[in-house]
Amino acid sequence: MSGLNLDEFATLIERPDPDTRREAEERRERLAPRPGAFGRLDELGEWLAAAQGGVPVKPVERPKAILFAGDHGVASLGVSAGPAEGAYALVRATLDGESAPAVLARGSGVELRIVDMALDCDPELLPADVTRHRVRRGSGRIDIEDALTAEEAERAFRAGMAIADEEADSGTDLVVLGDLSVGGTTAAGALIGALCGTDASVVTGRGGAGIDDLAWMRKCAAIRDALRRARPVLGDQLQLLATTGGADLTAITGFLLQSAVRRTPVILDGVVSAACALVAQRVAFRAPDWWLAGQSSGDPAQAKALDRIALNPLLDHGVTLGEGTGALLALPLVRAAASLAAELPVRS
């Protein structure tokens, strides 16, 4: 389908260093609080040490929140409760510091980056650094047509890889991943349903903003039709993303895989990042070792994807918004785990 050879990721991606993890576990046993006293924070500290390749673990000092943005043609069916202006309204509010992810990032002292992959708006309405990776204006309506052409899918995937390299090269030591999309959860449900072999009703959630029963039925029908189109291309992950994903989801998948190549840990947010993670796992089975699931969003498709990837969410507070909020809420927990593992004295 393209010049990309996704099989190379399976060779390039290595697991976080197991010897370092064992060393971190041994060090934890010598800390003053008894082993197990911090529950899952011990596991997080050991995971971070292995990802960093050293003991004791270093504090998370340069995290970055990255939100991939895009509109999806399937939203025209009334499957989303997103703003009428499309994802542009979500991006504008975030750039203006007036959205939930902007507030949480600001409160945590985390730099926030927005990447426009397929917003349905005039690019001149947004800063050039936001729009420079845009592939197209809105992704196709996946129930009746491909989301992307083959060329667009490759461009989006390579854009995600390039962004992962930019962040690794700039010193980002942990990525908080999210999306700003309208219709994205429908595409995510179709991807997860196809890869898990389930019916549409099993993977149809109510979205971050919540939809009523009629909209849920429309969304279920759209996913059903998208699944019919997805199943014949399950053997080609890039073609699957082109058929039933979209530019933002394709870029996120490329980003996740290249971040694993570059040994950059990532906190996943909701169902969109979970869907991309599931696709990426099919490409390289070791890649999920570099990811954490920030929170349970209550979306059935997210739960099914995370179960397949064997990731257990850090938080479950009933937060359904998406937009990176769940991953941002989990960040202080990860930072606390790193601080405890790094700073508590070892018993003599």
For the chain, residues classed under CATH 3.40.50.10210 are 63-332
2 pLDDT band (50/70/90 cuts)? Answer: low
pLDDT at 315 over 50: yes
- CATH tag, 11-58+339-343: 1.10.1610
CA separation for the pair 240, 194 (Å, rounded): 9
pLDDT of residue 32: 81
1 pLDDT band (50/70/90 cuts)? Answer: very low
Closest CA to 347 of 57, 17, 119, 27: 27
For the chain, residues classed under CATH 1.10.1610 are 11-58+339-343
Give the active site residues: 323
What is the distance, to the nearest Å, from the Cα of residue 271 to the centroid of all Cα atoms in its chain? 8
- 63-332 has CATH 3.40.50.2000 classification: no
Q: Rounded to 5 degrees, what angle do the CA atoms 306, 319, 278 make?
A: 20
pLDDT tens string 128-140: 999 999 999 999 9
Percent share of the chain, pLDDT over 70: 99
Buried b (16+ CB within 10 A) or exposed e, 57-88: beebeebbbbbbbbbbbbbebebbebeeebbb
Residue type, position 129, single letter: D
Mean pLDDT of the chain: 95
Instruction: Kindly give, in sequence order, each residue whose CB lies less than 8 Å from that of residue 149, ignoring residues fewer than 6 positions away.
Output: 242
pLDDT tens string 162-184: 999 999 999 999 999 999 999 99
Instruction: Kindly give, in sequence order, each residue whose CB lies less than 8 Å from that of residue 316, ignoring residues fewer than 6 positions away.
Output: 295, 296
pLDDT tens string 192-246: 999 999 999 999 998 766 788 999 999 999 999 999 999 999 999 999 999 999 9
Distance of CA 191 to CAs 46, 135, 228, 242, 341, Å? 32, 20, 11, 11, 38
Instruction: Kindly give, in sequence order, each residue whose CB lies less than 8 Å from that of residue 204, ignoring residues fewer than 6 positions away.
Output: 189, 216, 219, 220, 223, 300, 301
10 Å CB burial of residue 22 (0-12, 13-18, 19+) is middle
Secondary structure, 3-state, the chain: CCCCCCCHHHHHCCCCCHHHHHHHHHHHHCECCCCCCCCHHHHHHHHHHHHHCCCCCCCCCCEEEEEEEEEEHHHHHCCCCCCCCCHHHHHHHHHCCCCHHHHHHHHHCCEEEEEEEECCCCHHHCCHHHHCCCCCCCECCCCCCCCCCHHHHHHHHHHHHHHHHHHHHHCCCEEEEEEEEECHHHHHHHHHHHHHCCCHHHHCCCCCCCCCHHHHHHHHHHHHHHHHHHHHHCCCHHHHHHHHCCHHHHHHHHHHHHHHHCCCCEEECCHHHHHHHHHHHHHCCCHHHHEEECECCCCHHHHHHHHHHCCCCCECCCCCCCCCHHHHHHHHHHHHHHHHHHHCCECC
Distance of CA 302 to CAs 115, 137, 140, 172, Å? 22, 27, 23, 26
pLDDT tens string 236-289: 999 999 999 999 999 999 999 999 999 999 999 999 999 999 999 999 999 999
